[in-house]
Amino acid sequence: MSEELRKKCKSLRLAYIADIYNDVPFESPEQYLNTLFQEEFRLRDQAKAQRLIKKARFLDRKTLATYQWNDQIRFPSYLTKEELTSLRFIEDQQNVVLIGSPGTGKTHLATGLGRKACELGYDVRFYRVSHLVEELEMALKQNRLGALRKRILKFDLIILDEMGYLPFSKEGAELLFQLISECYEQKSLILSSNLEFSQWNRIFTDTRLTAALVDRLIHHAHILSFHGQSFRLTNALSKS
Protein backbone atom coordinates (compact mmCIF):
# COMPACT_ATOMS: atom_id res chain seq x y z
CA MET A 1 0.00 0.00 0.00
CA SER A 2 1.28 3.48 -0.83
CA GLU A 3 2.42 5.75 1.98
CA GLU A 4 -0.37 8.15 1.11
CA LEU A 5 -3.04 5.48 1.48
CA ARG A 6 -1.49 4.33 4.74
CA LYS A 7 -1.71 7.88 6.06
CA LYS A 8 -5.37 8.08 5.04
CA CYS A 9 -6.11 4.83 6.89
CA LYS A 10 -4.34 6.23 9.91
CA SER A 11 -6.26 9.49 9.92
CA LEU A 12 -9.48 7.48 9.60
CA ARG A 13 -8.21 5.48 12.61
CA LEU A 14 -8.28 2.22 10.69
CA ALA A 15 -5.50 0.40 12.48
CA TYR A 16 -5.43 -2.90 10.59
CA ILE A 17 -6.76 -2.43 7.07
CA ALA A 18 -3.41 -1.30 5.62
CA ASP A 19 -1.88 -4.63 6.69
CA ILE A 20 -4.70 -6.98 5.72
CA TYR A 21 -6.35 -5.53 2.64
CA ASN A 22 -4.30 -7.72 0.30
CA ASP A 23 -5.26 -10.97 2.03
CA VAL A 24 -9.02 -10.42 1.99
CA PRO A 25 -10.68 -12.36 -0.88
CA PHE A 26 -12.42 -10.21 -3.49
CA GLU A 27 -15.72 -11.37 -5.02
CA SER A 28 -17.58 -8.09 -5.30
CA PRO A 29 -16.92 -4.56 -4.05
CA GLU A 30 -19.62 -4.85 -1.40
CA GLN A 31 -18.44 -8.24 -0.17
CA TYR A 32 -14.84 -7.01 -0.13
CA LEU A 33 -15.61 -3.92 1.95
CA ASN A 34 -17.82 -5.93 4.26
CA THR A 35 -15.17 -8.56 4.96
CA LEU A 36 -12.47 -5.92 5.31
CA PHE A 37 -14.45 -3.94 7.89
CA GLN A 38 -15.44 -7.09 9.71
CA GLU A 39 -11.75 -7.99 10.05
CA GLU A 40 -10.94 -4.48 11.28
CA PHE A 41 -13.61 -4.86 14.00
CA ARG A 42 -12.43 -8.36 14.94
CA LEU A 43 -8.81 -7.30 15.29
CA ARG A 44 -9.81 -4.23 17.29
CA ASP A 45 -11.84 -6.38 19.71
CA GLN A 46 -8.92 -8.78 20.00
CA ALA A 47 -6.49 -5.98 20.82
CA LYS A 48 -8.92 -4.49 23.33
CA ALA A 49 -9.30 -7.88 25.07
CA GLN A 50 -5.51 -8.18 25.30
CA ARG A 51 -5.29 -4.71 26.83
CA LEU A 52 -8.00 -5.53 29.36
CA ILE A 53 -6.35 -8.86 30.25
CA LYS A 54 -3.06 -7.10 30.90
CA LYS A 55 -4.79 -4.45 32.99
CA ALA A 56 -6.61 -7.11 35.03
CA ARG A 57 -3.29 -8.50 36.32
CA PHE A 58 -4.29 -12.13 36.58
CA LEU A 59 -1.71 -14.21 38.38
CA ASP A 60 -1.74 -17.02 35.83
CA ARG A 61 -2.94 -17.92 32.36
CA LYS A 62 -5.78 -20.26 33.38
CA THR A 63 -8.90 -20.16 31.21
CA LEU A 64 -12.42 -21.58 31.21
CA ALA A 65 -11.40 -23.80 28.28
CA THR A 66 -9.04 -25.77 30.52
CA TYR A 67 -11.43 -25.90 33.47
CA GLN A 68 -12.94 -29.35 34.05
CA TRP A 69 -16.52 -29.15 35.28
CA ASN A 70 -16.37 -32.07 37.69
CA ASP A 71 -18.55 -32.98 40.67
CA GLN A 72 -16.21 -31.22 43.10
CA ILE A 73 -18.06 -28.01 42.31
CA ARG A 74 -21.67 -27.61 43.48
CA PHE A 75 -24.02 -25.06 41.98
CA PRO A 76 -27.09 -23.60 43.63
CA SER A 77 -30.13 -25.39 42.17
CA TYR A 78 -31.34 -22.43 40.07
CA LEU A 79 -27.97 -21.78 38.41
CA THR A 80 -26.42 -23.66 35.48
CA LYS A 81 -22.87 -23.66 34.23
CA GLU A 82 -24.08 -21.98 31.02
CA GLU A 83 -25.79 -19.21 32.98
CA LEU A 84 -22.66 -18.63 35.08
CA THR A 85 -20.30 -18.54 32.11
CA SER A 86 -22.64 -16.24 30.16
CA LEU A 87 -21.45 -13.63 32.72
CA ARG A 88 -24.90 -12.12 33.01
CA PHE A 89 -24.11 -11.63 36.68
CA ILE A 90 -21.79 -8.76 35.70
CA GLU A 91 -24.54 -6.96 33.83
CA ASP A 92 -26.83 -7.50 36.85
CA GLN A 93 -24.19 -6.27 39.37
CA GLN A 94 -24.36 -9.57 41.20
CA ASN A 95 -21.58 -11.42 43.00
CA VAL A 96 -20.15 -14.90 42.67
CA VAL A 97 -18.77 -16.45 45.85
CA LEU A 98 -16.56 -19.53 45.59
CA ILE A 99 -16.12 -21.33 48.89
CA GLY A 100 -14.34 -24.56 49.64
CA SER A 101 -11.26 -26.59 50.35
CA PRO A 102 -7.77 -25.82 49.00
CA GLY A 103 -6.77 -26.89 45.51
CA THR A 104 -10.31 -27.52 44.25
CA GLY A 105 -10.23 -24.93 41.45
CA LYS A 106 -11.59 -21.70 42.93
CA THR A 107 -8.77 -19.48 41.64
CA HIS A 108 -8.78 -21.27 38.28
CA LEU A 109 -12.53 -20.70 37.84
CA ALA A 110 -12.33 -17.07 39.04
CA THR A 111 -9.48 -16.38 36.59
CA GLY A 112 -11.31 -18.14 33.75
CA LEU A 113 -14.46 -16.09 34.33
CA GLY A 114 -12.34 -12.93 34.59
CA ARG A 115 -10.55 -13.61 31.31
CA LYS A 116 -13.81 -14.24 29.52
CA ALA A 117 -15.12 -10.97 30.94
CA CYS A 118 -12.11 -9.17 29.41
CA GLU A 119 -12.82 -10.85 26.07
CA LEU A 120 -16.36 -9.49 26.25
CA GLY A 121 -14.98 -5.99 26.86
CA TYR A 122 -15.44 -5.68 30.64
CA ASP A 123 -12.89 -3.88 32.76
CA VAL A 124 -11.65 -6.42 35.30
CA ARG A 125 -9.15 -6.38 38.18
CA PHE A 126 -7.84 -9.47 39.93
CA TYR A 127 -6.61 -9.02 43.52
CA ARG A 128 -5.32 -11.31 46.18
CA VAL A 129 -7.28 -9.92 49.10
CA SER A 130 -4.15 -9.50 51.24
CA HIS A 131 -2.51 -7.39 48.50
CA LEU A 132 -5.59 -5.26 48.10
CA VAL A 133 -5.72 -4.61 51.84
CA GLU A 134 -2.03 -3.71 51.83
CA GLU A 135 -2.65 -1.29 48.96
CA LEU A 136 -5.58 0.30 50.78
CA GLU A 137 -3.57 0.67 53.99
CA MET A 138 -0.66 2.22 52.13
CA ALA A 139 -2.96 4.61 50.29
CA LEU A 140 -4.53 5.67 53.59
CA LYS A 141 -1.09 6.41 55.04
CA GLN A 142 -0.12 8.42 51.98
CA ASN A 143 -3.35 10.37 51.85
CA ARG A 144 -4.47 8.98 48.50
CA LEU A 145 -7.18 6.59 49.57
CA GLY A 146 -9.86 8.53 47.71
CA ALA A 147 -8.00 8.30 44.42
CA LEU A 148 -7.33 4.57 44.82
CA ARG A 149 -10.98 3.85 45.67
CA LYS A 150 -12.12 5.86 42.69
CA ARG A 151 -9.81 3.86 40.43
CA ILE A 152 -10.97 0.52 41.82
CA LEU A 153 -14.62 1.47 41.52
CA LYS A 154 -14.19 2.04 37.78
CA PHE A 155 -13.82 -1.70 37.20
CA ASP A 156 -16.90 -3.66 36.13
CA LEU A 157 -15.73 -6.83 37.84
CA ILE A 158 -13.41 -7.09 40.84
CA ILE A 159 -12.00 -10.49 41.77
CA LEU A 160 -11.02 -10.92 45.41
CA ASP A 161 -9.06 -14.13 45.70
CA GLU A 162 -8.01 -15.88 48.90
CA MET A 163 -10.24 -14.19 51.43
CA GLY A 164 -9.35 -15.51 54.86
CA TYR A 165 -5.94 -16.99 54.13
CA LEU A 166 -4.23 -14.21 56.08
CA PRO A 167 -5.82 -12.21 58.92
CA PHE A 168 -6.11 -8.41 58.62
CA SER A 169 -5.39 -5.60 61.02
CA LYS A 170 -8.47 -3.83 62.38
CA GLU A 171 -7.79 -0.92 60.04
CA GLY A 172 -7.32 -3.25 57.06
CA ALA A 173 -10.59 -4.99 57.80
CA GLU A 174 -12.42 -1.66 57.95
CA LEU A 175 -10.92 -0.47 54.68
CA LEU A 176 -11.93 -3.69 52.95
CA PHE A 177 -15.40 -3.45 54.44
CA GLN A 178 -15.79 0.10 53.14
CA LEU A 179 -14.74 -0.93 49.65
CA ILE A 180 -17.09 -3.92 49.56
CA SER A 181 -19.90 -1.68 50.83
CA GLU A 182 -19.25 0.75 48.02
CA CYS A 183 -19.39 -2.08 45.50
CA TYR A 184 -22.71 -3.29 46.87
CA GLU A 185 -25.36 -3.22 44.10
CA GLN A 186 -23.01 -1.10 41.94
CA LYS A 187 -20.30 -3.55 40.88
CA SER A 188 -19.81 -7.22 40.48
CA LEU A 189 -17.43 -9.18 42.69
CA ILE A 190 -16.04 -12.70 42.47
CA LEU A 191 -14.74 -13.75 45.84
CA SER A 192 -12.95 -16.95 46.79
CA SER A 193 -12.33 -18.32 50.25
CA ASN A 194 -11.53 -21.57 51.97
CA LEU A 195 -13.44 -20.48 55.05
CA GLU A 196 -17.18 -20.96 55.56
CA PHE A 197 -18.98 -17.69 56.32
CA SER A 198 -19.43 -18.81 59.93
CA GLN A 199 -15.64 -18.64 60.33
CA TRP A 200 -15.11 -15.21 58.83
CA ASN A 201 -15.00 -13.71 62.34
CA ARG A 202 -11.53 -15.16 62.53
CA ILE A 203 -10.24 -12.91 59.75
CA PHE A 204 -12.15 -9.79 60.64
CA THR A 205 -12.19 -10.19 64.44
CA ASP A 206 -15.04 -7.65 64.73
CA THR A 207 -18.26 -9.71 64.79
CA ARG A 208 -20.60 -6.88 63.82
CA LEU A 209 -18.45 -5.81 60.91
CA THR A 210 -18.22 -9.42 59.69
CA ALA A 211 -21.98 -9.85 59.84
CA ALA A 212 -22.55 -6.62 57.91
CA LEU A 213 -19.97 -7.57 55.30
CA VAL A 214 -21.29 -11.09 54.73
CA ASP A 215 -24.80 -9.68 54.52
CA ARG A 216 -23.87 -7.27 51.70
CA LEU A 217 -21.78 -9.83 49.92
CA ILE A 218 -24.35 -12.60 49.77
CA HIS A 219 -27.38 -10.47 48.97
CA HIS A 220 -27.48 -10.90 45.13
CA ALA A 221 -24.75 -13.56 45.17
CA HIS A 222 -24.39 -16.92 43.50
CA ILE A 223 -22.67 -19.15 46.02
CA LEU A 224 -20.77 -22.14 44.66
CA SER A 225 -19.14 -24.64 46.98
CA PHE A 226 -16.09 -26.76 46.27
CA HIS A 227 -15.46 -30.16 47.82
CA GLY A 228 -13.11 -33.08 47.88
CA GLN A 229 -9.44 -33.61 47.34
CA SER A 230 -6.98 -30.98 46.15
CA PHE A 231 -5.99 -31.11 42.46
CA ARG A 232 -2.48 -30.26 43.57
CA LEU A 233 -2.41 -33.33 45.83
CA THR A 234 -3.90 -35.60 43.17
CA ASN A 235 -1.29 -34.33 40.71
CA ALA A 236 1.58 -34.86 43.15
CA LEU A 237 0.37 -38.36 44.01
CA SER A 238 -0.03 -39.39 40.38
CA LYS A 239 3.54 -38.31 39.63
CA SER A 240 5.07 -40.38 42.41
Identity of the residue, 169 or 235, whose beta carbon is nearer to ligand ATP in the bound complex: 235
- What is the smallest separation between the CB atom of 108 and Mg ion, expressed in angstroms? 8
Site for ligand ATP, rule CB under 6 A: 62, 66-68, 70, 102-108, 162, 192, 194, 226, 231-232
Q: Which does 105 bind (CB under 5 to 8 A by kind): ligand ATP, Mg ion, none?
A: ligand ATP
CA–CA separation, 91 and 81 (whole Å):
17
Ramachandran category for residue 102: left, alpha or beta (phi over 0 → left; psi -120 to 50 → alpha): beta
Binder to Mg ion among 72, 95, 104, 107 (CB under 5 A)? 107
- What is the smallest separation between the CB atom of 107 and Mg ion, expressed in angstroms? 3
Handedness of CA 140, 142, 146, 151 (dihedral sign): negative
- What is the smallest separation between the CB atom of 193 and Mg ion, expressed in angstroms? 9
Q: How many residues does the chain have?
A: 240
Q: Which does 114 bind (CB under 5 to 8 A by kind): Mg ion, ligand ATP, none?
A: none
Residue 200 vs residues 96, 132, 206: alpha-carbon distances, Å: 17, 17, 10
- What is the smallest separation between the CB atom of 95 and ligand ATP, expressed in angstroms? 17
How many Cβ atoms sit within 10 Å of the Cβ of residue 106? 25
